[in-house]
Amino acid sequence: MSAILSYKEIMQRMFYYYPIYCRTKIRKNKKSGFSWVEGELEVGYALNEMGESFVTPVEKLMLQTAGLVLSAGREPKVAFDFSVDHIKGIIEVHGLASLMSQLSEQDAVQVESDLKLLDII
């Protein structure tokens, strides 16, 4: 269990990418007037950068769940649907109880709470 990152650690790693992406956007805007487009979010960049970083199903589930929470409903429908399908697929294959048993009690409670908040479970 110690090899599995906590939910908080996954979110903190995602936040690492936020200023990187924002600085890039500022530079592009200064250089060419390029700005944000509808549905573009820092969390999308973070998910893209981190997507292949995790091998355990429970970490992949936490990453996708954290991405949806951090998007707070601002993500494009296609991105939301992709993440929800990914999460549901992981749960279907591994079972929610089995996945949550790999986490600390605090993480299991928070992840399940977020999955309910997102109407995934």
Q: Is 90's pLDDT higher than 70?
A: yes
Domain for residue 21, yes or no? yes
Tell me what pLDDT residue 100 has: 98
Q: Where are the extended beta strands (E) located within the chain? A: none
**Span 53-82, mean pLDDT?**
95
Residue 44 CA, distance from chain mean position: 8
Helix (H) or strand (E) holding 114: helix 105-117
> Which residues form the domain of 89?
7-117
- Residues shown for the chain: 121
Domain for residue 2, yes or no? no
Distance, in Å, from the CA atom of 82 to the CA atom of 105, rounded to the nearest integer, reads 27
Domain for residue 107, yes or no? yes
**Full-model pTM:** 0.90
Q: Is 117's pLDDT higher than 80?
A: yes
Q: Phi and psi at residue 33, in whole multiples of 5°? A: 75, 10
Distance, in Å, from the CA atom of 35 to the CA atom of 27, rounded to the nearest integer, reads 10
Domains contained in the chain, number: 1
Domain for residue 55, yes or no? yes
Distance, in Å, from the CA atom of 25 to the CA atom of 23, rounded to the nearest integer, reads 5
**Span 64-74, mean pLDDT?**
95
Domain for residue 77, yes or no? yes
Domain for residue 22, yes or no? yes
Domain for residue 96, yes or no? yes
Contacts of 88 (CB under 8 A, 6+ apart): 120
The pLDDT confidence band at residue 56, using thresholds 50, 70 and 90, is: very high
pLDDT digits (tens, 9 = 90+) for 12-47: 999 999 999 999 889 888 888 777 788 888 999 999
Tell me what pLDDT residue 34 has: 74
The pLDDT confidence band at residue 1, using thresholds 50, 70 and 90, is: very low
Tell me what pLDDT residue 35 has: 77
Domain for residue 1, yes or no? no
Contacts of 93 (CB under 8 A, 6+ apart): 57
The pLDDT confidence band at residue 111, using thresholds 50, 70 and 90, is: very high
